[in-house]
Amino acid sequence: MVLVCATSLPGSGQKAGETDGATAVRVLEGERVKAQSHNDNQTLDLIFDNAVVYIENGQVISKGDYLLRVKSAKPQQQRIVLETMTVRTVENTAIVVGTYSKTDVQGGNSLLKRWRFVDTWVNKKGSWMLVAAAAVPLSK
Amino acid sequence: MKTLMLVALLASVVTSAGYAQDADSDVEAKILATEHMWGQAYVSKDPKALERILDDAFVNVDSDGILQTKAEVVAEVRTSTVVQFLTESMVVHLHGNTALVTGIFQLKGVDRGKPYAQRERFVDTWFHKNGQWVSIAGLVTRIGQ
């Protein structure tokens, strides 16, 4: 049902004053979008913590269900473009807040919707893992 | 008096000598208790409780997608019209010194004489900082949105 295409990424390089951890997480957010766009479940499996809390459309979705959905996605059904992203690290934890637009294509019609998201990453044994991802549609 | 009791209770629950020495269940209980206090702060209009619960760099995304700072959330509590705040289905996911809480809250209030009710899902991120658990991020979404 879901296919994500990254047509632009908001700054995958290190930003001034940003910690190495924040830069790593920023890059991983880009990798995540790329992996989704290519139905690359192996990469997503490495990025997502096994106990990831994934909230979409007000529902909690397990990692298994999410990966299954990405795997069965059909091309051109959905396109996501990251718009803004700020990363803040607190020791081994990173909070990412940003916005993205999502275009659903069905039966020749496309519907654009903008979302604000909050992702939480934790560095486990040297690897940053996505432990929570949630998004809310922007009302304006 | 009620406010003083709440602050004292909050201090005793949130403060910990070290999360590493606590069993996971104890940590979960502390965080859940703090979640309850967070909700009750809206009923008692008690910004002091939130000052302790929320990290200074706390950010929240509400169900309209609006980004809020700690100061904005504290201001919201100060002018709260909530008269009842209940939580359900709360689950704590521990990742060392970081914890995630998912759950659903139901609130009822009266705004300019008009009663209202909301039931929404939330996810909060907590971090063990300087001996206590503080929330560093939150997101609220309409159920089935």
Q: What is the pLDDT of residues A50-61, one digit of tens each?
A: 999 999 889 999
Q: How many CA atoms lie within 13 A of A40 on its CB side?
A: 13
DSSP H or E run through B5: helix B2-14
A18 against A2, higher pLDDT: A18
Instruction: Tell me which chain B residues have a C-beta less than 8 angstroms from the C-beta of A53.
Output: 93, 100, 102, 123
Contact B136/A95, CB-based, under 8 Å? Answer: yes
Band the pLDDT of A14: cuts 50, 70, 90: low
pLDDT in tens, A93-109: 999 999 988 887 777 78
Longest dimension (CA), chain B: 49
Q: C-alpha A15: how far from its chain's center?
A: 19
Mutate to test the interface with A, among B104, B139, B140 (most CBs of A within 10 A): B139
How far apart CA A119 and CA B100 sit, in angstroms, is 11
Q: What is the pTM of this model?
A: 0.86
What is the per-residue pLDDT for A117? 96
List, in sequence order, the alpha helices (H) in chain A.
20-37, 41-47, 63-71
What is the per-residue pLDDT for B13? 46
Checking if the pLDDT of A72 tops 90, the result is: no
Band the pLDDT of A13: cuts 50, 70, 90: low
Contact B65/A122, CB-based, under 8 Å? Answer: no
Residue B66 has what DSSP assignment? -
Sequential DSSP letters for B106-119: EEEEEETTEEEEEE
Q: What percentage of chain A reaches a pLDDT higher than 70?
A: 85
Q: For chain B, which residues score pLDDT lower than 50?
A: 6-7, 9-19
Q: Is A97 on the interface with B (CB under 8 A)?
A: yes
- The whole-number average pLDDT for the span A25-30 is 94
Pick B98's closest partner by Cβ from A122, A135, A137: A122
Q: Across the A/B interface, how many CB contacts are shorter than 8 Å?
A: 101
How far apart CA A12 and CA B42 sit, in angstroms, is 39
Checking if the pLDDT of A6 tops 50, the result is: no
- Closest residue in B to A130 (Cα) is B95
pLDDT in tens, A114-129: 999 999 999 999 999 9
